[in-house]
């Protein structure tokens, strides 16, 4: 999560209950204890009480908040932890994009998967990132900002990026995002899709194959594509590069709907638009 400073100096965070519930689900999957939601939110308040001065005020800056837990006991072996430590760390974050939001190219990994059926893909846990690093390095080697993973069973259906969810916009304004038990349920994605529904647009959460993506884009049916997550909010995807094909082109411009949903969400987070869904929680009062 992030803490955002509003124009009047107050400090707010975005959907902490949803983050707390996701941490509970992640902990349950890892046989770790589930931290009560009110303790989670209180820990953020206590951090801000001490370190609130670290929340920057320049445009699009924030204080990253990272609640985490790990087994902490003198034991060598494999079993659920008896003793667990919970911490929150924080670090100021600058504007993700300097000089305007820039569309990125992403690399389709056909060699590696980040998660398997029945595995920990839906949990926010370090191992998922460890298993994505080599594929991410290949993305960089191919001039791409992030790696795109397919499902590990058939190697056919779109899952997510190493650290962001994916959304495709069809020419009738329908937004389509992958449904899968092995991806992280992003809170940014959920919020963006809610804002799209508020505008009367149709949202589909369904399986989408990389072939459908490629063919629908080639036919002009898919008109915009973007990635979303807490760090960059919404990042337009210019192209998907694979070993033997490319969807879109690296110099493609950001989509209009993509950019306007991004603007609306950041305006809510920074208190510039009314918070009609009750997504914000004040941390400094």
Give the residue with the Cβ less far from ligand PLP, 184 or 261: 184
The correct pick among 27, 108, 184, 232 for binding ligand PLP (CB under 6 A) is 184
CA angle centred on 68, ends 62 and 73, rounded to 5°: 150
Instruction: Scan residues 233-252 and list those touching ligand PLP (CB under 6 A).
Output: none
Q: Does 178 bind ligand PLP (CB under 6 A)?
A: no
What residues contact 153, with CB distance under 8 A and at least 6 apart?
116, 117
Task: Rule CB under 6 A: choose which of 43, 146, 165, 239 binds ligand PLP.
Answer: 165
Q: What angle do CA 75, 80, 85 make, to 5 degrees?
A: 70
Q: Quick one: which of 228, 225, 263, 268 has its CA closest to 247? A: 225
Please, which residue, 105 or 269, has the CB nearer to ligand PLP? 269
Q: In angstroms, what is the minimal distance from the CB of 274 to ligand PLP?
A: 21
Query: Which of residues 87 and 245 has its CB atom nearest to ligand PLP in the complex?
Result: 87
Query: Least separation, in Å, of the C-beta of 277 and ligand PLP?
Result: 15
Residues 176 and 167: their CA atoms lie apart, in Å, by 6
What is the C-alpha separation between 119 and 82, in angstroms, rounded?
22
User: Which of 165/269 has CB closer to ligand PLP?
Assistant: 165
Q: Which of 103, 178, 229, 236 binds ligand PLP (CB under 6 A)?
A: 229
Q: Which of 221, 266 has the CB closer to ligand PLP?
A: 266
- Spatial CB neighbours of 23, under 8 Å, sequence gap ≥ 6: 35, 40, 67, 69, 124
Return the residue of 26, 230, 235, 239 that touches ligand PLP, per CB under 6 A.
Answer: 230
- 62, 120, 188, 239: residue in contact with ligand PLP (rule CB under 6 A): 188
Residue 177 or 230: which CB sits closer to ligand PLP? Answer: 230
What gap in Å lies between CA 231 and CA 208, rounded to an integer? 25
Q: What is the DSSP letter of 254?
A: P
Torsional sign, CA 200, 220, 208, 23: negative
Where along the sequence are the contacts to ligand PLP (CB under 6 A)?
160, 163-165, 184, 186-189, 229-230
């Amino acid at each position: 999560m992030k803490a955002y400073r509003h124009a009047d100096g107050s400090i707010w965070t975005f959907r902490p209950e949803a983050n707390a519930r996701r941490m509970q689900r992640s902990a349950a999957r890892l046989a770790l204890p589930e931290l009560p939601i009110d303790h989670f939110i209180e820990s953020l308040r206590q951090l801000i009480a001490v370190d609130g001065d670290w929340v920057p005020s320049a445009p699009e800056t924030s204080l990253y908040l990272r609640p985490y837990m790990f087994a902490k006991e003198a034991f060598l072996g494999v079993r659920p932890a008896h003793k667990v430590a919970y911490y929150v760390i924080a670090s100021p974050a600058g504007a993700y994009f300097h000089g305007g939001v820039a569309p990125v190219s992403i690399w389709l990994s056909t060699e590696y998967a980040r998660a398997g059926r029945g595995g920990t893909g839906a949990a926010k846990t370090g191992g998922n990132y460890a298993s994505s690093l080599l594929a991410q390095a290949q993305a960089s080697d191919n001039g791409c900002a992030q790696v795109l993973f397919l499902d590990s069973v058939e190697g056919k259906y779109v899952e997510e990026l190493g650290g962001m969810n994916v959304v495709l916009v069809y020419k009738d304004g329908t937004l389509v995002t992958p449904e899968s038990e092995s991806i992280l349920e992003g809170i940014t994605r959920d919020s963006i899709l809610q804002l799209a529904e508020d505008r009367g647009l149709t949202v589909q959460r369904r399986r989408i194959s990389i072939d459908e993506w490629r063919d629908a884009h080639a036919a002009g049916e898919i008109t915009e594509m973007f990635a979303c997550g807490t760090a960059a909010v919404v990042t337009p995807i210019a192209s998907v590069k694979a070993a033997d094909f490319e969807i879109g082109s690296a110099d493609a411009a950001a989509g209009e709907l993509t950019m306007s949903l991004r603007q609306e969400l950041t305006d809510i987070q920074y208190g510039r638009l009314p918070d009609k869904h009750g997504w914000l929680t004040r941390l400094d009062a």
